[in-house]
Structure 1
Amino acid sequence: MAPTQPTRWLDDEQQRDWRALVIGTTLLMDQLDDDLRAAFGVSLAEYEILVRLSESEGRAMRMAVLADALRHSRSRVTHTVARMERSGLVVRAACADDGRGIIATMTDKGHALLTRAAPVHVAGVRANLVDLVSPEDFAALGRVMNAVADRLVSGHPDRDIR
């Protein structure tokens, strides 16, 4: 058994910054979710599914790939997409290539909703994050989070979600 390393505790400033990140991220995501629910009756998770589908060829993705891209469990994505299907925002069908996978495709109604919701979402991102800090601080945040993503994605190179 390898010797254990002593714990490198966060100093007071690091602890303060870490908590600010956790609390700020939670509050930001909650606000963006609240905005979309109030204006369009969709959650932030549903909005993100519509975004991912809109960026895919034919506005369609295999459910497993969609779950990986969103970093959600397959069961969570299946439940969310089923709800969206009942609302007419997406449809699901067996994959024509192998018949095993399921393809989610954004409908015209889903695309129309995304087109209306995107400006509200972007305004929320700007008001609650981007416009609160200097361009340099926002760029630094991007560098930090890309470093985190690079490290964590490196263990799963087939799951680069950017």
Structure 2
Amino acid sequence: MPDATPVIPLDPDEEAFLRALGTVMALLPRVVDADMLGELPISGVEYTVLMHLSEVPHHQLRMSELAHACGLSLSGMTRVVNRLESQSLVTRQKCPEDGRAWLVVLTGPGRKMLERAWPTNLASVRRHVFSRLDGCDVAAAAEVLRRIAAP
């Protein structure tokens, strides 16, 4: 049965917002990755994984929870964790409560890499994001993005 809700085209402001958001979503990870990889052996998404692990108790998360926190698919997260594991920045362990699940655990070298990478990541996001928000209400913008990201 077709949906009876009428299709209402986007107005010019909505269209402009959606297009700009799409551009930022595609461009920002690439420019942050370029900055990170120019100085370090980890990308922006790998930095994000280490950051999330550093912020939780015991510095470990289930693979699925980590994927969700980073906005990645489970297979995408597996590829990222494989790269980090090959550098000894994380380890994988079977979850004691559920033998089918994997925990990703931040290692000592992973914490050191995160500390080393933090200034580069900070400089990158300041240059590519916050330097362009003069006069904007950053808290309001963050709230808008949270609403967009909410399920």
Deviating runs (4+, > 6 A) in structure 1? none
Identity of aligned residues (%): 33
Q: What CA distance in whole angstroms lies between the structure 1 residues aligned with 2:13 and 2:135?
A: 23
Q: What CA distance in whole angstroms lies between the structure 2 residues aligned with 1:92 and 1:112?
A: 18
Q: What CA distance in whole angstroms lies between the structure 2 residues aligned with 1:128 and 1:72?
A: 22
Given the alignment of the two structures, is residue 76 of structure 1 paired with residue 80 of structure 2, yes or no? no
**Within 5 Å, which residues of 2 pair with 1:126-141?**
126-134=126-134, 136-141=136-141
Give unpaired runs (5+ residues) of structure 2.
none
Give the TM-score, by structure 1 length.
0.83
Tell me the residue number matched to 2:35: 35
What displacement does 1:116 show?
A: 1.0
Deviation string for 1:125-162 (max 9, x for gaps)? 11111121135432231121122123x2xxxxxxxxxx
**Within 5 Å, which residues of 2 pair with 1:136-151?**
136-150=136-150
Given the alignment of the two structures, is residue 122 of structure 1 paired with residue 145 of structure 2, yes or no? no
- SS of residue paired to 2:103: strand
Q: Which amino acid aligns with 2:127?
A: A
Tell me the residue number matched to 1:103: 103
Q: What CA distance in whole angstroms lies between the structure 1 residues aligned with 2:136 and 2:10?
A: 25
Tell me the residue number matched to 2:22: 22
What displacement does 1:85 show?
A: 0.7
**Within 5 Å, which residues of 2 pair with 1:1-20?**
1=1, 4-20=4-20
**Aligned residues, how many?**
151
Q: Which amino acid aligns with 1:54?
A: S
Give the TM-score, by structure 2 length.
0.88
Tell me the residue number matched to 2:63: 63
Deviation string for 1:56-106 (max 9, x for gaps)? 112111212212222322122112111211111111111233433211111
Q: What CA distance in whole angstroms lies between the structure 2 residues aligned with 1:10 and 1:105?
A: 44
Tell me the residue number matched to 1:91: 91
Q: What CA distance in whole angstroms lies between the structure 2 residues aligned with 1:2 and 1:19?
A: 28
Q: What CA distance in whole angstroms lies between the structure 2 residues aligned with 1:89 and 1:25?
A: 27
Tell me the residue number matched to 2:113: 113
